[in-house]
Amino acid sequence: MMIPSRTVFDTWRTESVGAAGRTLWDSGEALDDEVSGARYAISRLAQDGLWSGVAAQSGETAIDVGCLRATSVSAIARNSAIGIARSVPDLTAAASKIRNLLTVIESSDLFVTDDWLVLPRVKNYPATLAATLATVADTFQVQLNPALVDLSQADHDIGAFVRRTLMGDGLGLALPEIGADPHAPRDFTEAPHGDNTGGTNPEFGRGLQRARLLEHMTGTVVETETTTAGDTTTTMVRMLDGSRQTYTSGPGVNRTEFRSPEGVLTATRTVAGDGTATVSLTRPGKSPAVVTERPDGTTEAVVDGITFPIPSSRDYAIALAAGVMSATESGVARGLPYLNQAQVARLEIGAKAAGPGLTLLGTAMGVATAENGYERCVAGVAGGVGLGADLALLALAPEMSPLRAFWTGASVSLGGSMVGNIVGQVLCR
């Protein structure tokens, strides 16, 4: 099934489809009348002796062939009208529900994207209000999805019925599959999100919607503030969900702090003068998980007092290139989970970050939740490419909850944790 994009849906006049079906029916009947009239007129010519001979026989044959084709066209019109009448109530009901929902949703601080994602508008909300809006957006998404599925199903039923009619009913037209038809719509969004009956993996589609909502909340910049003290510059970037990233740079200082919407410090990243980068992930009630990457590319992690090597950013950058995978920021492939000043400037004009820090921060989270050496190696690679450890594994780690939203958004935005783990398994053999 194909769901029209919102832009296309806005051009639909579903209330007119029923009238079009009735017009088809009337046209089919009118054509039948014309065919009957033509046959009668020709037969009268022969009966009255006004036309005879070879020409008359040829004319009657031509009329028979033409009438047969015309009758087939009439059958197509009338049968198509039957199929339209059968599905129009579902089509108009779904379209009406969607339009009503759009009116309600967009009368608030929410909006609906072209591919039907319900998101909070980009404003500087208090953290509690931002969290509430995210919950409301998800609730409206649950209401919108079934209506989109119903719309798609009704539209598909009408199209499939008419297509079968065109291929039968005496004409026997050879039509390509809808997906291969050059005249088929191209501006559509892929099928059912969260539908329990349609789609090959509806739960995955629903998960993608939630991940994109989380990415929107944690990766959309609503405020930047830059201060300078001597040669040291500090830039604070506030995200839509209220979380903050603070970048401090100057002589001997290169530090990034990540704070939750509640203001709790969740992670710190520092870069030493020799280029050594260290990420420390706060774990309430436990020692921090620390990942260090040196200029030569060697990387190690310290979790619960145990030190072990993990694949370096150079390794997973090669894996990214080999797999023809792209990162959201050029810094991701280099293993740099922070925004430089140029990137922050871009954010001020509406660009997005991919969440509160990627790669090494992700690596720290991955290794903190891995259970054995092989899993830690895989987690190192998966975190390195910003794809993340398995979400089910992450859910078992309550101490990671402050960054769970980021983790979900980052992993899905770069292609899903499955891809990262596949890359990891290749590098960790």
- The answer, yes or no, to whether residue 243 has pLDDT greater than 60, is yes
Share of the chain above pLDDT 70, in %: 45
Identify the residue whose tokens are 């409206």.
140
CB 226 within 8 A of CB 233: yes
| pLDDT tens-digit map of 198-232 | 444 556 667 778 878 887 887 788 888 889 898 88
Q: How confident is the model at residue 172 (pLDDT cuts 50, 70, 90)?
A: low
pLDDT at 90 over 50: yes
pLDDT, position 258: 82
Pair of tokens at residue 349: 């004009």
Q: What is the pLDDT of residue 8?
A: 82
What is the mean pLDDT of the segment spanning 57-75? 65
Which distant-in-sequence residues (6+ apart) come within 8 Å of 236 by Cβ? 223, 224, 225, 226, 244, 245, 246, 247
Under DSSP, is residue 223 helix (H, G, I), strand (E, B) or coil?
strand
The CA-to-CA distance between both ends of the chain, in Å, stands at 41
Task: Report the pLDDT value the prediction gives residue 345, as an integer from 0 to 100.
Answer: 38
Res 39: pLDDT: 66
Q: List the single range of 14-18, 253-257, 280-284, 350-354 with lowest mean pLDDT.
A: 350-354
Give CA–CA dist 341/339, Å, rounded.
Answer: 7
pLDDT computed for residue 361 by the predictor: 39
Alpha carbon distance 356, 403 (integer Å): 8
Q: Is the per-residue pLDDT at 118 higher than 90?
A: yes
State which of 117-121, 153-157, 262-266, 395-399 shows the largest mean pLDDT: 117-121
Give the pLDDT score at 104: 95
Average pLDDT, the chain: 65
- Taking alpha carbons only, the member of 363, 370, 359 closest to residue 397 is 370
- Of 103, 136, 99, residue with least CA distance to 120: 136
- For residue 210, the model assigns a pLDDT of 82
Least confident range from 52-56, 143-147, 148-152, 349-353: namely 349-353
Q: Which residue has the higher pLDDT, 168 or 426?
A: 168
Radius of gyration of the chain (CA): 31
H or E element, residue 87: helix 53-105
Structure tokens at 71: 């009758």
CA distance linking residue 115 with residue 222, whole number of Å:
23
Mean pLDDT, range 354-368, rounded to an integer:
38
Give the pLDDT score at 318.
Answer: 37
The reported pLDDT for the residue numbered 302 is 76
DSSP string, 295-358: TTS-EEEEETTEEEEE--HHHHHHHHHHTT---SSHHHHTT--S--HHHHHHHHTT-B-SSS--
Residue 288 has pLDDT above 60, yes or no: yes
Relative orientation angle of helices 127-167 and 53-105, to the nearest 10 degrees: 170
For residues 244 and 225, what is the distance between their CA atoms, to the nearest angstrom? 11
